[in-house]
């Protein structure tokens, strides 16, 4: 584990975070980091990723550790590595050293956690083994479960309210991730000319991330089949006339994410039909970002994207009718089925381990409407929040070939006209946007979005 050189400022940040938590809850909380998942034998594990709630207060991705937070104090629980570890993994900082680095007030071996666990709240980690430990140590079910404990819900809401708005340390980290991501996308565009397969471009992009000692914040999407929204295949050959969609983001060593998508022509030149649709998506992207400021409802940003896409598709004669009516009947969702974006922070879809508790304001629930059901964020924007803005246009066979959809939208879609646009399978344009006190700052602004600049980079 890499120890940050400026760990004094990290420990100050961590102290501030736990003091803020103290103002929100009046009971102890225990947060676990999780264990590495075993691949085939105990020492061959998948890469470890700490629970983000642990990371937020402990700062470092310490494996098999827990922290107890109470009244602004932090106690670290972990076992020192056995001496045999030295041979295979070299020297690992001891419990006392890590406690000092993160500014802990006390440090104990794991065996002492149970005796410090009475009446503590927690949040469930993803790792199943650790989840069982959580239940055993607290001697009860843990949230999320069928019967969430009141204190776990209270802790969850308190942590959400802190993590919704990023402090300076988080912003510095996310900006670093964003800068590397921008570089990765430029490298991907530059590599296209000599690339034969999607995998070649993925390699060019991820090599930038790896060479900055970062990791990918999520499985990269680098595909000429952008109509598969989270395409995880990289074997397709690149052909003249294809659009390549790359949704790739870096994550810093302390776990802070970025999330960027660009779509570019393999040949270096958008066809007229590709440019027409690209400019509709870009108009939605730009209009949405121009509206971002505190107090604005993210749902309204999503509906604005839907409206601009409906307008553009009417202008291109793909959709028929009044754009407002088309949005009302979810016709835009035939081509833009997902939400316009999500929270970004320690996770790419920040705090989605909590279901919709973070994404949705208390009292709001996800709509079952086709055009709203995949919206991940429905809150008013506040300063310090980072959101993605990622409108898109896709020709998803599962949607467009669905008989019910075809019947419902039979007179709304100009199916013949749509045929002209068959060289547009998927386009998404995504940036990371910080809500400031006055408006917005695009953290990934250095990466161009307009077709001329993209053609130049490719
Ligand atoms: N970057 C993938 C997503 O936002 O879902
Ligand atoms: Mn995204």
Q: State which ligand 1 atom lies nearest to the alpha carbon of 229.
A: 5
Output the CA 228–ligand 1 centroid distance in Å: 12
Q: In Å, how far are 147, 167, 226, 256, 281 from 440, measured between CA atoms?
A: 39, 16, 28, 19, 20
pLDDT at position 105, please?
A: 97
- Taken as a whole, the chain contains a residue count of 458
Distance (Å, whole) CA 157 – CA 150: 11
Cβ of 214 below 6 Å from ligand 1: no
Tell me, using a 6 A CB cutoff, whether residue 248 lines ligand 1. Answer: no
Distance CA 135, CA 143 (A): 10
- The answer to whether the CB of 251 is under 6 A from ligand 1 is no
Section 30-49 average pLDDT: 93
Ligand 1 nearest-atom number relative to CA 338:
5
User: Which atom in ligand 1 lies closest to the alpha carbon of residue 259?
Assistant: 1
Omega before 262 cis (within 30°)? no
pLDDT tier at 145, thresholds 50, 70, 90:
low
In the predicted model, what is the mean pLDDT of residues 330-348?
98
Measured from the CA of 342, which atom of ligand 1 is nearest?
4
For the entire predicted model, the pTM comes to: 0.96
Mutate-to-test residue for ligand 1 from 259, 344, 345, 387, highest number of ligand atoms within 8 A of CB:
259
Q: What proportion of the chain, given as a percentage, has pLDDT over 90?
A: 91
Q: If you measure from the C-alpha of residue 258 to the centroid of ligand 1, how many angstroms do you get, rounded to a whole number?
A: 10
Q: Tell me the pLDDT band of 84, cut-offs 50, 70 and 90.
A: confident
Give me the DSSP letters along 356-393.
Answer: TTTTB-TT-----STTTTT---BSB--TT-EEEE--EE
Domains in the chain with CATH codes: 7-163 (3.40.350.10), 168-457 (3.90.230.10)
Rg, the chain, Cα only: 24
* Average pLDDT of the residues of the chain: 96
Cα of 342 from ligand 2 centre, angstroms = 7
pLDDT, average across residues 26-39 = 96
Residue 10: phi and psi, rounded to 5, are -60, -45
- Count of other CB atoms within 10 angstroms of residue 353: 18
- Measure the CA–CA gap between 251 and 348, rounded to whole angstroms: 9
Beta strands in 8-65 (DSSP E): 29-32
CB 98 within 8 A of CB 78: yes
Distance of CA 260 from the midpoint of ligand 2 (Å): 7
By most ligand atoms within 8 Å of CB, the mutation choice from 184, 348, 351, 431 for ligand 1 is 348
CA nearest neighbour of 268 among 455, 44, 17, 405: 455
Sheet of 29-32: strand order equals 29-32, 66-70, 73-77, 106-108
What confidence tier does 8 reach under pLDDT thresholds 50, 70, 90?
confident
For the segment 125-134, the average pLDDT, to the nearest whole number, is: 91
Which alpha helices (H) appear in 81-224, and where do they start and end?
A: 85-89, 95-101, 128-138, 150-163, 168-191, 198-211
Instruction: Give the distance (Å) from ligand 2 centre to CA of residue 180.
Output: 16
Tell me the pLDDT band of 148, cut-offs 50, 70 and 90: low
Examine the pLDDT at 147 and tell me if it is beyond 80: no
**Interval between CA 248 and ligand 1 midpoint (Å):** 9
* Crossing angle (nearest 10°) for helices 272-290 and 298-315: 150
State yes or no: pLDDT of 88 exceeds 90: no
Q: Contact at 8 Å (CB) between 160 and 358? A: yes
3 state SS of 187: helix
The confidence score (pLDDT) of residue 146 equals 53
Ligand 1 atom nearest to CA at 349: 4
Q: Report how far ligand 2's centroid is from the alpha carbon of 2 (Å).
A: 27
- Mean pLDDT within 339-357: 96
Give the separation between CA 312 and CA 290, rounded to whole angstroms: 18
Ligand nearest the Cα atom of residue 432 = 2
- Burial readout 125-137 (b: 16 or more C-beta within 10 A, e: otherwise): bebeebbebbeeb
Closest to 345 in 3D by CA, of 53, 28, 13, 47: 53
pLDDT value, residue 82 = 87
Beta strand 260-265 with 250-251: parallel, antiparallel or unpaired? Answer: unpaired
CB-ligand 1 contact for 348 (6 Å cutoff) = yes
DSSP 100-117: HHTT-SEEE-GGGTGGG-
Give the pLDDT confidence score for residue 83 in this predicted structure.
85
Q: How confident is the model at residue 233 (pLDDT cuts 50, 70, 90)?
A: very high
Question: CB of 313 within 8 A of CB of 222?
Answer: no
Residue 247 CB less than 6 A away from ligand 1: yes
């Amino acid at each position: 584990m890499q120890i940050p050189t400026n760990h004094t400022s990290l420990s100050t940040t961590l102290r501030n975070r736990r003091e803020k938590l103290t103002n929100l809850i009046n009971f102890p909380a225990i947060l676990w980091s999780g264990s590495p998942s075993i691949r085939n034998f105990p020492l061959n594990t998948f890469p470890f990723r700490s629970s983000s709630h642990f990371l937020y207060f402990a700062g470092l991705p310490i494996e098999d550790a827990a922290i107890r937070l109470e009244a602004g104090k932090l106690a670290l629980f972990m076992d020192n590595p056995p001496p045999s570890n030295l041979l295979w993994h070299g020297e690992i900082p001891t419990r006392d050293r890590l406690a000092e680095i993160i500014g802990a007030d006390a440090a104990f071996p794991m065996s002492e956690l149970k005796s410090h666990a009475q009446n503590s709240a927690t949040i469930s980690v993803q790792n199943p083994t650790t989840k069982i430990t959580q239940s055993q140590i607290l001697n009860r079910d843990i949230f999320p479960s069928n019967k969430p404990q009141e204190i776990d819900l209270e802790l969850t809401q308190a942590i959400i309210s802190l993590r919704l708005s990023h402090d300076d340390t988080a912003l510095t980290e996310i900006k670093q991730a964003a800068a590397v991501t921008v570089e990765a996308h430029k490298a991907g565009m530059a590599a296209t000319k000599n690339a034969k397969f999607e995998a070649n471009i993925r390699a060019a992009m991820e090599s930038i991330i790896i060479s900055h000692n970062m990791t990918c914040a999520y499985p990269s999407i680098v595909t000429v089949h952008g109509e598969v929204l989270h395409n995880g295949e990289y074997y397709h050959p690149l052909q003249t006339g294809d659009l390549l969609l790359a949704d790739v983001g870096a994550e810093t060593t302390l776990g802070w994410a970025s999330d960027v998508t660009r779509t570019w022509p393999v040949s270096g030149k958008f066809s007229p039909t590709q440019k027409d649709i690209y400019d509709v998506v870009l108009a939605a992207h730009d209009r949405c970002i121009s509206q971002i400021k505190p107090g604005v409802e993210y749902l309204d940003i999503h509906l604005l994207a839907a409206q601009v896409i409906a307008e553009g598709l009417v202008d291109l004669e793909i959709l028929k009718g009044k754009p407002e009516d088309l949005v009302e009947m979810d016709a835009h969702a035939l081509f833009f089925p997902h939400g316009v974006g999500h929270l970004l922070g320690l996770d790419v879809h920040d705090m989605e381990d909590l279901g919709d508790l973070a994404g949705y304001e208390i009292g709001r629930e996800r709509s079952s409407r086709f055009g709203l059901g995949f919206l991940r964020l429905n809150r008013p924007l506040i300063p310090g929040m980072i959101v993605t803005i990622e409108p898109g246009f896709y020709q998803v066979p599962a949607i467009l070939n669905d008989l019910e959809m075809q019947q419902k939208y039979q007179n709304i879609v100009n199916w013949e006209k749509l045929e002209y646009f068959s060289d547009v399978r998927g386009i998404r344009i995504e940036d990371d946007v910080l809500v400031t006190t006055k408006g917005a700052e695009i953290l990934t602004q250095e990466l161009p979005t307009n077709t001329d600049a993209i053609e130049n980079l490719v």
